[in-house]
Amino acid sequence: MKVFINKRIPETGIHKLKEAGLEVFIPEHENLSYEEWLIYCQNSDAILGVGGEFKYNKDFFDQCPNIKMIALYSVGFDHVDIPEASRRNIPVGNTPDVLSKATSDVAFLLMQSVARRASYNFQKVKDGHWGGFDPLHALGQELYGKTLGILGLGRIGFEMAKKSKNAFGMEIIYHNRNRNEEAEKELNARYVSFEELVEQSDVLSVHANFTPEQKDLFNAPVFGKMKNNAIFINTARGGFQNEKDLYEALISKKIWGAGLDVTHPEPMSKESPLLELSSVCVLPHIGSATIEARTGMANIAAKNIIAFSKGEKIPYCVNPEIYKVN
């Protein structure tokens, strides 16, 4: 079975695939055009897909009839048309769990960085503008006892909530499609409506899976309902926020600050006005960027492909319904 990997991943994953007798191909240069990427896909049986710049949609599947499975090097799968893959009986794997702590670390980091205006103050030092002591300049805010609201209290959201409660004694509220009884029991988390989440959160952190219906979910009307001391954090997908509306909410002081590890589009333009604000911190989508997490992701992606090559159900499957017996 031929496996196409569009970018290099930790060697452990590649080694596992080759050890299992699979033919692995990685292009010499990784900045492939769509046309180049498509040709490699057309000549493969399975794809270990790194990054979300290209879409696995109906047009892709029509042009790549030989593709039998897709192993994503990510938890998110919003760039894959899952119903279309299922219709063609193509399993799609992802890499949950292994990056939950690392991604929640970044959300926690952003929350603190925004609260204390860390990016702004670091830039002052770099620019030689340290200056003298000013009791009122660019003050931050403390997080102790504040309310953390989480949209999408799954694995990553749970880790973020746990850190915030343990470190700052934060109250946890959340909005999910389903109740999270573990979080309610262990963290005393309280389930609320989306409207209550928006209105009651001092920090609102997004950890939900993104769907097209949620594009610009956080827009001018929503930001307008948030507390004026609220911090908006997003480490999920940039499509959740309307960045023009976010900027307007910040400069009009409808909300206090924002920390983003994801933007729309990515990469964010260096001309974005958000980057000029002292209460904003933007990172270049580094949620899973640790040695431990990326190695774990490589191992899981390889495990998915190897299981498929043996005719077994892949262990981390986004569309398990394809295995159901009618």
Provide the pLDDT confidence category of residue 325 given band limits of 50, 70 and 90: low
Supply the pLDDT for residue 30.
Answer: 80
What is 100-282's CATH number?
3.40.50.720
d(CA 298, CA 265): 26
What is the distance of C-alpha 30 from the center of its chain?
A: 22
Going from N- to C-terminal start, the domains of the chain cover 2-98+290-323, 100-282
Q: Which residues, in sequence order, are CB contacts of 236 under 8 Å at separation 6+?
A: 76, 152, 206, 207, 208, 209, 210, 262
Question: Mean pLDDT score of the chain, rounded to an integer?
Answer: 96
Q: For 57-90, how does the pLDDT look when each residue is reduced to its tens digit (9 = 90+)?
A: 999 999 999 999 999 999 999 999 999 999 999 9
For residues 320-324, give the mean pLDDT.
91
Q: For 149-167, how does the pLDDT look when each residue is reduced to its tens digit (9 = 90+)?
A: 999 999 999 999 999 999 9
Provide the pLDDT confidence category of residue 31 given band limits of 50, 70 and 90: confident
Supply the pLDDT for residue 272.
Answer: 98
For the beta carbon of residue 15, count every other beta carbon within 10 angstroms.
Answer: 14
d(CA 233, CA 282): 10
What value does the CA radius of gyration of the chain take, rounded to a whole number of Å? 21
Supply the pLDDT for residue 326.
Answer: 43
Supply the pLDDT for residue 38.
Answer: 97
Residue 131 pLDDT greater than 90, yes or no: no
* DSSP-based three-state secondary structure for 3: strand
Question: In CATH terms, are 2-98+290-323 and 100-282 the same topology?
Answer: yes
Contact assessment for residue 318 and residue 288, using Cβ atoms and an 8 Å cutoff: no
Contact assessment for residue 49 and residue 72, using Cβ atoms and an 8 Å cutoff: yes
Q: What are the Cα distances from residue 171, in Å, to 147, 164, 167, 188?
A: 5, 9, 11, 8
Our CA angle for 186, 190, 196, nearest 5°, is 155
Cis, bond preceding 265 (omega within 30 deg of 0): yes
What pTM value is reported for the model?
A: 0.93
Percentage of residues in the chain with pLDDT exceeding 70? Answer: 99
Q: For 207-230, how does the pLDDT look when each residue is reduced to its tens digit (9 = 90+)?
A: 999 999 999 999 999 999 999 999
> 7 burial class (0-12, 13-18, 19+ CB within 10 angstroms)?
middle
One-letter identity of residue 157:
G
Catalytic residues, by residue number, are 237, 266, 285
Residue linked to tokens 């897709």 = 70
Residue 117 pLDDT greater than 50, yes or no: yes
For residues 100-111, give the mean pLDDT.
98
**Which residue spans within the chain are E strands per DSSP?**
2-5, 23-25, 46-49, 69-72, 92-93, 147-151, 171-175, 190-191, 203-206, 231-234, 257-260, 280-282
What is 2-98+290-323's CATH number?
3.40.50.720
